[in-house]
Structure 1
Amino acid sequence: MDLVITPTALDCFKEEWGFDEGEMIRIFVRYVSGGEVPFAFGIIRDTPHDVAVTRVAEHLTFYMEHKDVWFLEGKSLTIDCHGDGITFDLA
């Protein structure tokens, strides 16, 4: 299980979303529908409680808690930015 933050995503988090150095950014799994892919990733400023995965990139700390890593199941999550939006690629 790996968490990758691209340079383009870092620029977006800092310039478009207003995240500052030293902030903690939680990546979490949320239910979005009963369709073919009922779950998606969300992003929130938060204080860590039960960290499973951490990645520090350009003084921003991205993390996932144990309750959310089940969705990764040994895969790699790449967070990127295309256009005006953050994208999540699970491979």
Structure 2
Amino acid sequence: MKIVISESALEWFKNDIGLSAGDQLRFYSKIYGSSPVQQGYSLAFAKEDPINMVVSTVLEGILFFIEDNDLWYFDGHDLHVDYHKQEDDLEYTYVKNS
């Protein structure tokens, strides 16, 4: 599994969330909502330190990661994160990994 963050999403995280080099952002599953990979759950994120990180990527010194206890949510998919200026919203795409 891998995490892919687009340039526009990275800029959004830096400008709207205030992330900078040395910061860490966790993607995790939350109850309520739905996604293409899990009904009744959706994806959230929080600025926090890793405890049992299993997937990560670093862009401009910012660590984006997923913990071991959230891996089930992705059901064998890579996470692609993009930002759409027109909708002013992040878009999560789940791509089946090979």
Tell me, in whole angstroms, the C-alpha distance in 1 between the residues paired with 2:45 and 2:24.
10
> Under a length normalisation based on structure 2, what TM-score does the superposition of the two structures give?
0.84
Aligned equivalent of 1:13? 13
Tell me, in whole angstroms, the C-alpha distance in 2 between the residues paired with 1:57 and 1:74.
23
Q: Percent identity?
A: 26
One-letter amino acid of the counterpart of residue 13, structure 2: F
The more displaced of 2-11 and 13-22 is 13-22
Aligned equivalent of 1:89? 93
Give unmatched runs, 5+ long, in structure 2: none
Higher-helix-fraction structure: 2
Residue aligned with 1:48, SS: coil
RMSD: 1.6
> Under a length normalisation based on structure 1, what TM-score does the superposition of the two structures give?
0.90
One-letter amino acid of the counterpart of residue 92, structure 2: F
Give unmatched runs, 5+ long, in structure 1: none
The question of whether the paired residues in 1 share the 8 Å contact of 2:33 and 2:42 is answered with: no
Residue aligned with 1:19, SS: coil
